[in-house]
Chains A and B, each alone.
Chain A
Amino acid sequence: MLNLIKEIMKSKIVTEDPTTWKESLGRGLPVLDLNNCPAGCSRCEQICPTGALADKVVDPKVCIYCHSCRQICPVDAIGETDIPLMKGSLTLEKLGQTLREKIKQVCQRSLHIRYVDAGACNACDFEINALTNPIYDLQQYGVDFVASPRHADLLVVTGVVTRNLEIALQKTYAACPKPTLVIAIGSCACGGGIFKDAYAAGGGVDKHLPVDLYVPGCPPTPIQIIKAILTAINRKK
């Protein structure tokens, strides 16, 4: 007991200031350098397991960030950039604006999140879990996870939406007060990932619910997820 109290007294603040994040975000979005890319070579497109790479462009929602394409490229013509956040809509600008208005309407300063695993491999789930650890401390932004969809402003969904979870996901969405924001986290939720065509997998969240924001990555890191949530509530860091 004494040691416990001593250790607690010794505790220092470990929570990080997001402006100081130097952590690597891991494997980024592959980009082809068309000037270097030899004509007639399509090795990267052939090796891509998801079909994300077509006509020399990578679709960030479909990519699983395996970098098989980069490894097979004979001339090193594939670099990488940060994985973009994607808004769910037709014209990005217009949608960005509606999203912002929606958020203003939904939540003033704080945001309550209900999380649903709709058939993930649990990597995204562990990363979302990590958001509440003392290092990331998501609660400091007025954002927290709630146990019931009835209390939620935002639904965070991971996974491909399996056949066996489709109904549970829809019921959870229906139980949220409207309007509800929906964020799809991870490659599976964004575009179905590597399982998108499987008989038991539903090809991603937007086949089932309207999605406001996509956070691709396999899995996206906690930093990417926090940035996404803060973007969603228009408090970009």
Chain B
Amino acid sequence: MYGHPISKELQKINQGYPLTQNASVLAGHKIKTEIPANKLLDTVTLLKKHGASLLTLVGVDEREIKGGFGVYLVFSLSAAIMEIKVSLDPDHPSYPSVTPVIPAAHWLEREIKDWLGIVPQGHPDLRRLAVHPDWPSDVFPLRKDFPAHGEVPRVEGEMEFFPVKGEGIYQVPVGPIHAGIIEPGHFRFFTFGEDVINLQAQLFYTHRGIEKTAEGKHFHQAALIAERICGACSASHTIAYAQAIEALAGVVIPKRAQYIRTILLEMERLYNHVGDIGNICAGIGFNFAISRGAILREHLMRLNMRLTGHRYLRGTVIPGGVKINLKASSELSSIRSELSQIEEKLCQLTEIMLASHSLLDRMQTTGILPKETANDLGAVGTAARASAVNRDLRRDLPYAAYREVKFAVPIQQEGDVFCRLKQRIDEGKQSFAILQQAFEQLPPGEIRVKIPDLTPYQTAIGYTESARGANVHWIMSGPNNTLYRYMVRSASHCNWPVLPLCVPGNIIPDFPLINKSFELCYACLDR
């Protein structure tokens, strides 16, 4: 049996527990182990030393199957995915918080306190995050004794913002309903004159209870739920979900399906990036680019419709493969040539944008995300790469057909709004190239395999690099091919905590611009 270099050191820590290693369906090694809670900090410190980054952290109510609660931490490290479990007391579940070692865990740990009542001890900020002030303090919807269709009564409560005090400091509350056509969230600006001193947010307005809804559902039915977590990341969420199910079942999907998934993922990235390139300009009132961007995005949406029958690519992916075949046809070749035309038009548009002094003036040095902050807080996707964090799951832990297409992962250095715009422009070019390669190399064959019965109470993850960054889906199977626990960590979940740090020092009118340059999704975060 092959061993990852980290296994020996891990075995010193997890004495008494087995360390399982096997080849993962997705990429490289998959290492799983359980450790006692009092060894958790040593372990994560070791992992951090080896350059591991946290993919997700999940709490599970396992009282009826294992007699307690479980917390699962999943890390990615060179060519491996590692899952560490700690088992917790059924009556007073708590464990030492890993946030002091790995700051990227801080929202995840606050969430498991909110949803499951598991207390991460030593966490620097245990205010509520996901449940609103009017939630009763003893209702934990992700516990198994809370019914999926349960009602949550309302209680009195106030939003808890850290006070920011001083002469001349004003609070500006904004939202949850905003003036434009955007998703809901509440922002609290603390300002001195026009300058923002501090920004805090109350999110989770669109919380629908997706994870709980998926529990107990057959995995094919839950795929429809995964598809509806977010509109603009439908394909990447569904593919991440499907990969987790395939990992549970130990199946490898046919080559053709892998290529088709790659095409779907890149089509999704493109319409998002192109839309965002135009839309960022709405933050500075550069109308030419707004409308040109919107036209190109609409063309891409229509290509999605012609390619798959759905503008948001829904209904195209299932666990085990894909539902659409993309057979060679004159329609397909015309779609490909239209893609090239869009590429050309996008190029013309961005050339004009990048030559506009007023655009550069507003965007450069605005809303800077420093590299260290991006790294420490675990920022992902375009936002991280615009701050020189060289991370991209498509290259680092390849899935679908990404091993077989050539592409570069561009990065920028400064981490300002302009870099995030430029990042999208550069990535868009790569997407066009990936698409043409994938169409060109599309192998013949089946597009779907059957998923055998799932062994209950096994865990697996699936992930994709969406337009916004890493979407990680963690699943524990239940009896009769159902899901026992489903946890979705979206790219926006990673990047939301980062945004408020980029605003202080900027003026309020720049907030919409900074916000648009991150293009965070509320539905993905709130679930």
Interface residues of A (CB under 8 A from B): 1, 3-4, 7-8, 14, 23-24, 26-27, 47, 49, 64, 66-68, 71, 115-117, 119-130, 132-136, 145, 147-148, 159-160, 162-165, 168, 172, 193-195, 197-201, 218-219, 221
Interface of B is mostly: loop
- Asked whether, in the complex, the Cβ of A145 is within 8 Å of the Cβ of B181, the reply is yes
Q: Counting chain A CB atoms within 10 Å of each CB, which of B208, B209, B228 scores highest?
A: B208
* Chain B residues near A126 (CB-CB < 8 A): 231-232, 275
B163 to chain A, nearest CB (A): 24
The one of B205, B210, B302 that contacts A164, using a Cβ cutoff of 8 Å: B205
A169 to B521, CA, bound (A): 20
Does B177 touch A at the CB level, under 8 Å? yes
Cβ contact of A195, chosen from B179, B210, B297, cutoff 8 A: B210
Is B224 a contact partner of A49 (Cβ separation < 8 A)? yes
In the assembled complex, B17 has its CB within 8 A of some CB on chain A: no
Distance between A12 CB and nearest chain B CB, rounded to angstroms: 11
Contacts A49-B224, A121-B229, A163-B152 known; A199 to B177 CB distance under 8 Å?
no
- B295 proximal to A (CB < 8 A): yes
Count chain A CB atoms within 10 A of each CB in B132, B180, B288, B315 and give the residue with the most: B315
Other contacts beyond A120-B183, A168-B205: 7, CB < 8 A: A3-B355, A27-B310, A66-B315, A115-B181, A197-B148, A199-B146, A219-B231
Residue of A whose beta carbon sits closest to that of B206: A119
Q: Given B184, B224, B310, which contacts A194 in the complex, CB threshold below 8 Å?
A: B224
**Are B305 and A23 in touch, CB under 8 angstroms?**
yes
Of all chain B residues, the one with the shortest Cβ separation from A2 is B355
- Please indicate the chain B residues that have their CB under 8 angstroms from the CB of A164 in the complex: 132, 204-207
Task: Check B288 against A119 for contact (C-beta < 8 Å).
Answer: no
- Are B314 and A218 closer than 8 Å at their CB atoms? yes
Top 4 A-B residue pairs of the complex, sorted by shortest distance between their CB atoms:
A123-B231, A147-B179, A198-B209, A133-B294
A201 and B315: CB pair below 8 A?
A: no
**Docked-complex contact A199 and B149, CB < 8 angstroms:** yes
Bound CA–CA A170/B205 (angstroms):
14
Is the beta-carbon distance between B291 and A23 smaller than 8 angstroms? no
Interface contact B523-A199, CB-CB below 8 Å:
no
Knowing A133-B295, A199-B149, say if A128 contacts B181 (CB, 8 Å): yes
B311 within 8 A of A: yes
Contact present for B221 and A117 (CB under 8 Å) = no
Contact B208 A195 (CB under 8 A): yes
Q: What chain B residues lie within 8 Å of A128 (beta carbons)?
A: 181
28 contacts between A and B (CB under 8 A): A1-B355, A3-B352, A4-B356, A14-B295, A26-B305, A64-B228, A66-B314, A121-B228, A122-B230, A122-B232, A123-B234, A124-B231, A125-B231, A126-B232, A130-B294, A130-B298, A135-B294, A168-B177, A168-B184, A195-B209, A197-B149, A199-B141, A199-B146, A199-B151, A200-B141, A200-B152, A200-B208, A201-B209
Assess A194 versus B305: contact at CB under 8 Å? Given A3-B355, A121-B228, A124-B231: no
Cβ-defined contact, B182 with A125, below 8 A: yes
Tell me if B98 counts as interface (CB < 8 A to partner A): no
Question: Is A123 in contact with B232, judged by CB distance below 8 angstroms?
Answer: yes
Cβ-defined contact, A7 with B208, below 8 A? no
Q: How far is the CA of A124 from the CA of B206 in the complex (A)?
A: 14
Which of A1, A71, A163 counts the most B-chain CB atoms under 10 A from its CB? A163
Tell me if B348 counts as interface (CB < 8 A to partner A). yes
Q: A121-B229, A197-B149, A198-B149 are in contact. Are A135 and B298 (CB under 8 A)?
A: yes
Chain B 126-138, CB within 8 Å of chain A: the 1/0 string?
0000001000000
User: Are B295 and A172 closer than 8 Å at their CB atoms?
Assistant: no
CB-CB nearest in chain B for A48:
B221
**Chain B residues within an 8 Å CB radius of A172:** 177
